[in-house]
Amino acid sequence: MSRPADMPLLSVRGLGYYALNGDELLRDVSFDLAEGAVLAVTGPNGAGKTTLLNLLSGLSDLALGDVIFDGQSLRDMSADDRARAFAVVSQLEMPDPRLRVRDYVALGQIPIRHDRSAAELDAALDGLLDCIGLTHLARKPMGQLSGGERQRAHIARALAQRPRVLFLDEPTNHLDPDAKVRMLSLVAALGITVVMILHDLVMIPEFATHVAMLKHGSLAAFGTVDDAMTQAQVRDTFGVSLVHLPHDGRMIPALDLRRQPLSH
């Protein structure tokens, strides 16, 4: 049975999580995300962003609350089901530097290899490398790529799984400004549901459709970027002001870095 058009692809209900030492890392997080949305998860260091991403993607077992994907609880999904639905690019991607780009990206096809012929897999791989702009690097060892090229290869490997949701943990980390823009432009144009951790507040209005702001393990704000990422909410969460400045016929987001006292 197909999912009703008004049913969210991802529903988060009362999600909570405690560290082994008893510290509460996440508290009563709930929201709905529609298919095709690009969600930016942001918040100060230690707010619970990576914990949330790991729970949503199934990398960490659910303890408190639930995550419903396409009407089914993650608790009831097998590892194979999750591999077909979700792909994750973490900050700890460290492939063998001798692996050539094409071979590395092809590793993402492992969960779907039994669904397609070798010819179909090869054709899909060639198309993906072309789409991500890696065809000219296909035979280059991973260890010889720039930071931006490696990130594109990581995303291509994840997309080779043909996931319905792509999870990205700080995809712009350690990239220069131009590489950041290229990376987020690529992500925003994928046409699939994306959940990504972003620290660059000025990038969120440009490349995300929705934002989830975490503070002290709780959801401080959630919604479309225009509705949830208000000046007051950014100031309360981060202690800085988000402003929009006119430039070349558009409003450009910028940060006023004069510190404001954080509320407690």
CA distance 98 to 229: 43
Residue-wise pLDDT tens digits, 183-218: 899 899 989 999 999 988 999 999 999 999 999 999
pLDDT at 262 over 80: no
For 174, the 3-state DSSP assignment is coil
* Nearest Cα to Cα of residue 263 among 242, 243, 237, 241: 237
Fold of 10-229: Rossmann fold (3.40.50)
| Element (DSSP H or E) covering residue 87 | strand 86-89
With bands split at pLDDT 50, 70 and 90, how would you rate the model's confidence at 182? confident
CB 131 within 8 A of CB 187: no
Residue-wise pLDDT tens digits, 91-139: 878 888 999 999 999 999 988 888 888 999 999 999 999 988 899 999 9
User: What are the structural domain ranges in the chain?
Assistant: 10-229, 236-264
